[in-house]
């Protein structure tokens, strides 16, 4: 374990339930990341209030007032530098980032996506999974690369799709899993327990709903 906690920024656009799960994990003194900044591109994002209540520095960088993505991202970058950020977690951050921004943060920026990538990139993942009749759905934490919803996979969780599911009920169960795997994935990255080999993350974490979470190395150590 590293002896300094990695300073992490969480980027949100909305309610921030994944952000809350990361904040909760980082309250543990041995967690290898601290949440140093919550930043939203929407000043009205509910997640900002939550972060303030938890005494975390917040910033709103309203994308609408900047002409072009580069200008918006230049302000973002300045904020991240001001707060001496090491790692970024995108958590429901609904702005596409340019190739140059993602390249700058490559290996240091994570995203959570509500599907088992590489299936169902983009929006409306639960509706599309139901329309296709898949029987297993889930969520993915991955490193961010310039191509949307791609990049080496750090953690995945699977949930069965039930006959009775609609997008709402399926989404609720997937979100529960998001809240489990995102803190684990950030922990693995912050603790430098994973490495990328040929686009594959070695030491990644998998979870299937209702079974114990599997994190190579991590749980073995915790158990004994
Ligand atoms: C989450 O389900 C997250 O996976 C998804 O947005 C939701 C944000 O919820 N992200 C994406 O769709 C990104 N492609 P939250 O604000 O409660 O964390």
Binned at pLDDT 50, 70 and 90, residue 224 comes out as: very low
Q: Are 106 and 143 in contact (CB under 8 A)?
A: yes
Say what percent of the chain tops pLDDT 70: 96
Structure tokens at 121: 């990139």
In this prediction, residues 21-32 reach a mean pLDDT of: 97
Binned at pLDDT 50, 70 and 90, residue 212 comes out as: confident
Residue with CA closest to ligand 1 atom 8: 92
Instruction: Look up the CATH number of domain 113-213.
Output: 3.40.50.170
The confidence score (pLDDT) of residue 1 equals 57
1-105 and 113-213 in the same fold? yes
In this prediction, residues 20-44 reach a mean pLDDT of: 97
Catalytic residues: 113
3-state helix, strand, coil in the chain (%, to 5): 35, 25, 40
Query: Sign of dihedral through CA atoms 101, 103, 108, 113?
Result: positive
Q: Are 201 and 215 in contact (CB under 8 A)?
A: no
Cα of 92 vs centre of ligand 1, distance in Å, is 4
Q: How many CB atoms lie within 10 A of CB 2?
A: 10
Q: Are 166 and 142 in contact (CB under 8 A)?
A: no
pTM of the model: 0.94
pLDDT tens figures, 113-132 = 999 999 999 999 999 999 99
Structure tokens at 153: 């996979």
Boundaries of every domain in the chain = 1-105, 113-213
Show the ligand 1 pocket: residues with CB < 6 angstroms.
Answer: 12, 14-18, 91-92, 112-114, 175, 178
* Angle 221-208-31 from CA coordinates, rounded to 5°: 40
Cα 56 to Cα 144: distance, rounded to the nearest angstrom = 24
Cα 168 to Cα 90: distance, rounded to the nearest angstrom = 22
Say what percent of the chain tops pLDDT 90: 89
Closest CA to 79 of 28, 66, 92, 25: 66
Mutate to test the pocket of ligand 1, among 17, 20, 45, 114 (most ligand atoms within 8 A of CB): 114
Binned at pLDDT 50, 70 and 90, residue 216 comes out as: confident
Dihedrals phi, psi of 218, to nearest 5 degrees: -60, -60
CATH 3.40.50.170 fits 1-105, yes or no: yes
């Amino acid at each position: 374990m590293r002896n300094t906690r990695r300073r992490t920024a969480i980027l949100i656009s909305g309610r921030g339930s994944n952000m809350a799960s990361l904040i909760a994990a980082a309250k543990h003194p041995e967690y290898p990341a601290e949440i140093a900044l919550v930043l939203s591109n929407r000043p009205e994002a509910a997640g900002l209030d939550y972060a303030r209540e938890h005494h975390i520095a917040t910033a709103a960088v309203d994308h609408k007032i900047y002409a072009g993505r580069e200008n918006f991202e230049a302000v973002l970058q300045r904020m991240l530098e001001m707060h001496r950020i090491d790692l970024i977690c995108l958590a429901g951050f609904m702005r596409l980032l340019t190739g140059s921004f993602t390249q700058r943060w490559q290996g240091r920026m994570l995203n959570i996506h509500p599907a088992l990538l590489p299936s169902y990139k983009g929006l409306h993942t639960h509706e599309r999974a139901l329309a296709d009749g898949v029987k297993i759905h889930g969520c993915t934490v991955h490193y961010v690369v310039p191509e949307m919803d791609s990049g080496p996979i750090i953690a995945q969780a699977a949930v069965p799709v039930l006959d009775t599911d609609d997008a709402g009920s399926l989404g609720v169960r997937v979100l529960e899993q998001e809240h489990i795997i995102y803190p684990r994935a950030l922990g693995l990255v912050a603790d430098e327990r994973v490495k990328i080999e040929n686009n594959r993350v070695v030491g990644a974490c998998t979870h299937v709903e209702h079974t114990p979470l599997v994190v190579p190395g991590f749980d073995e150590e915790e158990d004994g």
